[in-house]
Amino acid sequence: MSTHLDDQAVHRPGATPQQLGIGMRFSIHPHCDDFVEVILGALEDARRAGLTQGLLIETDEVSTYVGAAEEPAEQRLMAYLASVIAAASRRSGGGHVVAHVLLSRGCPGEVACDLSMTGLPSPEPVRIEVTGVPAIAQWSLYPLLDGDAGAGAHMDHIESAIASALRRGTAVSAAHYATKLTGDVADVLATAADAWAKVGCQVPHVVSHLTVSVGSPSPAAAG
Amino acid sequence: MSTHLDDQAVHRPGATPQQLGIGMRFSIHPHCDDFVEVILGALEDARRAGLTQGLLIETDEVSTYVGAAEEPAEQRLMAYLASVIAAASRRSGGGHVVAHVLLSRGCPGEVACDLSMTGLPSPEPVRIEVTGVPAIAQWSLYPLLDGDAGAGAHMDHIESAIASALRRGTAVSAAHYATKLTGDVADVLATAADAWAKVGCQVPHVVSHLTVSVGSPSPAAAG
């Protein structure tokens, strides 16, 4: 999988992704008896493909933390995650696999530089090669403003992100508390990551959650 | 399972839980070949136990939406969820089951009344009977303020909620982007729900995410 790491311009004056606290947690759930082998195998596949480069990875008993140590941060995170999900799908024979993802940037407990409302980074859109694995996801975006920080109403940022995803064709409908995304795993992850990074140009602390389902036996998922 | 529905005082002047947009989405992931039977069986167990009363439930291809239609809202939501998780654990023979939960209140797209920064409801703490199923969870809380709404800094609300969970004994340590909770499924869910409801007394729109793991084969989970 080409990760387009070399030809991206990243406009992030000064601070490193690590100083900006750019990273994610994810958990991956193969719905099969040999889930341990599927998970460990998928993580190893992504490592062998070179996709862990520039990332700090720590797996604990609930999920895996992935911090971006090098640019392009969003690109590295999403290429790695798409690879792990596709590998888990492949290793489970196309069975039902769900990934839950938390994307975070600018959390005050993680940040090691002065994040003001100006001078925030403007990363390039994520580009990941198609995985061939279709996904259905539920996606939520949380701009974490302070009550005296300016930067507008949180719903304005959310609505603008949903409008972008609709134009892109991955967002298809609203569900309670979430927006439904469909498409190749790569498109779904890129949609969420780009929206998260775009709000991050205006709001220092932005989190997004994404439940990505592949190979679901639900009738609706077959449609 | 007693749900303590009758003896709770709820101080919610005027608006119903539905008008306030109080509800959740959850997905449940048994890591076994017969996951469909486990999930459907667990949902049915909770229904037969009478725990769907006062709730609006819609399952789609990714997760299940549960809206609170009657008071006590938080109590009904958490008693139902604890019951489903415990039933899925039981039905999978104590195998590995993960639930992902999104708690939401006051989302402008869901609310059907005037939510101002004053007069927000002050629900009683959730009380759920012990399930006997130990859990490890990663928990995040998101007070969604507007940039001109007052109500302080979002991190102050989060830090206060973590301090409460530490005093309660369920919060044990910080992870990147989340706080680790341990205890019986009932205690873990009650901790998250109470924190979410408490911030909701001051901030109209509050979301919380929780990844709850039971029966994990990870060495760390056995400790």
Model confidence pLDDT, tens digit, residues B113-146: 666 645 677 888 999 999 999 999 999 999 998 8
Min Cα–Cα distance to chain A from B28, Å: 10
Structure token pair of residue A113: 């530089």
Lowest mean pLDDT among A9-18, A97-106, B35-44: A9-18
Q: Using the beta-carbon criterion (under 8 Å), do A29 and B32 form an inter-chain contact?
A: no
The pLDDT assigned to A12 comes to 53
Nearest to B114 by CA among B12, B15, B11, B10: B15
Least-confidence region, from A22-36, A147-161, A190-204, B105-119: B105-119
Quickly list DSSP for A32-73.
STTHHHHHHHHHHHHHHTTTTTTEEEEE-SS-EEEEE-SSSH
DSSP string, A127-164: -----S-EEEEEEEEEE-B-TTS-S--HHHHHHHHHHH
- Distance (Å, rounded) from C-alpha B29 to C-alpha B39? 8
What is the C-alpha separation between A68 and B158, in angstroms, rounded?
24
Give contacts of B 72-131 with A, CB under 8 A. 96, 98, 100, 102, 104, 107-110
pLDDT in tens, B181-195: 999 999 999 999 999
Distance from the B154 Cα atom to the nearest Cα atom in chain A, whole angstroms: 5
Q: State the sign of the Cα–Cα–Cα–Cα dihedral A112, A188, A97, A206.
A: positive
Which candidate, A185, A188, A155, places its Cα nearest to that of A169?
A188
Please report the pLDDT score of residue B8 as a whole number: 45
Q: How many CB pairs under 8 A join A and B?
A: 178
Chain B: closest CA distance from residue A130 (Å): 22
Nearest to B177 among A107, A213, A218 (CB): A107
B137 touches chain A (CB under 8 A): yes
**A98 → closest Cβ in B24, B27, B138:** B27
Instruction: Quote the minimal CA–CA distance from B148 to chain A in Å.
Output: 5
SS3 B119: coil
**Is B148 within 8 Å of chain A by CB?**
yes
Q: Output DSSP code: residue B134.
A: E
**Residue B180: what are its φ and ψ, rounded to 5°?**
-85, 130
B128: amino acid identity, one letter: I
Per the listing, tokens 């389902």 go with: A213
- Residues in chain B where the model's pLDDT stays below 50: 1-9, 117, 220-223
Domain B23-113+125-222, CATH: 3.30.70.930
Dihedral angle computed from the Cα positions of residues B145, B148, B152 and B153, in that order, rounded to the nearest 10 degrees: 60
Query: Helix, strand, or coil here: B94?
Result: coil
Cα(A172)–Cα(B119) distance, integer angstroms: 36
pLDDT given at position B7: 42
Q: Report domain A23-222's class.
A: alpha beta
d(CA A29, CA A24): 17
Could you tell me if B18 and B73 are in contact, meaning their C-beta atoms sit under 8 angstroms apart?
no
- Which three-class secondary structure state does DSSP give residue A100? strand
Residue range A18-66, pLDDT digits in tens? 888 999 999 999 999 999 999 999 999 999 999 999 999 999 999 999 9
> Which residue carries 């196309």 as its tokens?
A94
pLDDT digits 0-9 by tens, B95-106 = 999 999 999 998
pLDDT at position B172 is 86
Distance (Å) of CA B121 to CA A24, B15, B79, B109, B170: 33, 9, 20, 19, 25
Angle at B156 between CA A110 and CA A208, to 5 degrees: 50
CB of A149 less than 8 A from some CB of B: yes
Q: Give the per-residue pLDDT at A221.
A: 38
CB of B27 within 8 Å of any CB in chain A? yes
Tokens standing for A222? 């077959």
Cα A111-B117-B24 angle, rounded to 5 deg: 70
The pTM assigned to this predicted structure is: 0.91
Per-domain boundaries in chain B: 23-113+125-222
Chain B residue whose CA is closest to A31: B31
Q: Dihedrals φ, ψ of A171, to 5°? A: -80, 130
Task: Please tell me which residue of chain B has the smallest CA distance to A100.
Answer: B100
**Three-state DSSP state, B195:** helix
pLDDT (0 to 100) of residue B1 = 39
Partner-chain contact A147 B152, CB within 8 Å: yes
Out of B35, B209, B219, closest to residue A31 by CB? B35
How many H-runs (helices) and E-runs (strands) does chain B carry?
A: 5, 8
Average model confidence (pLDDT) across chain A: 88
